Structure 1
Amino acid sequence: MGNVMRGMSAWNKPDGIDSSSLGKEEDMVVVLADYPPPDVSEPIFRIGEKLGIVAQQGYWWKVRSLQTGKENYIPGIHVGKVYHGWLFEGVTRQKAEELLLLPGNRVGSFLVRESSTEQGAYVLSIKHSVIRHYRICRLDNSWYYISPGLTFQCLEDMINHYSEFADGLCCVLTSPSQSNRTAPPTAVPSVVMRRHVDGKKKDRPQVTSMGGQNDNMLSYGVRSSIAAYLSFSECEEAQSMRQESRQKKSKSFYVLPEN
């Protein structure tokens, strides 16, 4: 960025940086809008979430969430690159306000963005009672300033100074824009203790009452299977009784009276 960050090109990755490596600030992006949109499906990434770049594959970028560690793909137009945690690429005034108003940003949270009205210029956006924007001017010698009486060789020096002294700003800079959105808690599968049921030793009222006392004790499928088993057992028992009755009839005899 010229003098922006002492030798770093404006929005290009410095030479010698591996695009697949993580942990470097140059490899960080911020989500600019929920993706996928909530009206399509449950978003995978939320606005303001910080991601590490794994690979850029044309339109799709493979990224890793810095909060959950999970990898996925997201269109490049849904993210903006972030340098040093606070220098945002491709963020408009409106989007900067949306990011700073996210939960987790306190008074003094800030970001530096490109000016939407002047090419090559920058704006410092700060969260206060309202979001305030300060135009960062540049001298002919490439030094930067917000107040003409206080100039800085690079943006990093400016941010370091205003992190200690307000010097005309609405407040001291506290922390770069962030979001406290956390990953939804992983659902722990519920463990249901099921009693061993012996259909030969339990009659229908005993078995069916077990499900009535606690529906979680026996699932619907188990209760259906037990009911089918009992019905089958009753059919077998009835058939057996009919066979025994026939056998008794076949073995019976009549005694004729003497007369």
Structure 2
Amino acid sequence: MEAVAKYAYTASSPSELSFNAGDTMKIIPYDEFWCRGRINNKEGYVPKSYITEKPHPWFKGRITREESEELLLKRDKSTGMYKHVDGAFLIRHSENSPEDFSASVKYNDAVQHFKIFFREYKYYIWAKPFDSFNELVEYYRTTSISRSQQIFLKEMSEEGKLYQAAYDFEAEYESELSMKKGDIIRVTETSDPNWWSAANEKNGKTGIVPCQYLTPLK
């Protein structure tokens, strides 16, 4: 995991790590009060009260495998469709290996679980090492996380609002999302007045769509 220092800390023994407020470090939980931390090539114990973990919406902490499956396979009560597209994922602590993690990823009607090994302050799923969760996640957004199927990580869209396509729209650019009249569209971001980020519930594809082509699903 990664954390940011809230305050400066001066080590009181050789086993501790000194740092300044605002420093970013990699941490491994140790006990109720301390973590093992690393900044550049320096390592040592870090008081938990001096740091805050970097927040990620996809990191769910110590939820169980069963709870992750329930979350990723939720259905919309009004349509009966899955709330999350294929590739929707979360990362959680491994139930069996305290220092490791698991990536739980929705695919079709099931959830696949990929072990994330944490060794020497590097994260691995297969052979490729990553310096942070962010790097790992960004890599597997464009490279399949599975070796047997094409599965790319996508944001969970549980909080998105459902709309219906009022007209056909054919994407002209890679960033756009094609849709047919009547398609159910889950909108996930609306900061732009003309183009919204969305996912097509029919095929799981994501992109931006013209908001005037959508009507709220009642």
- Which of the five TM-score ranges fits, normalised by the shorter chain? 0.3 to 0.5
Q: Which has the larger radius of gyration?
A: 1
TM-score by length of 1: 0.39
TM-score by length of 2: 0.45
Q: Which has the higher strand share?
A: 2
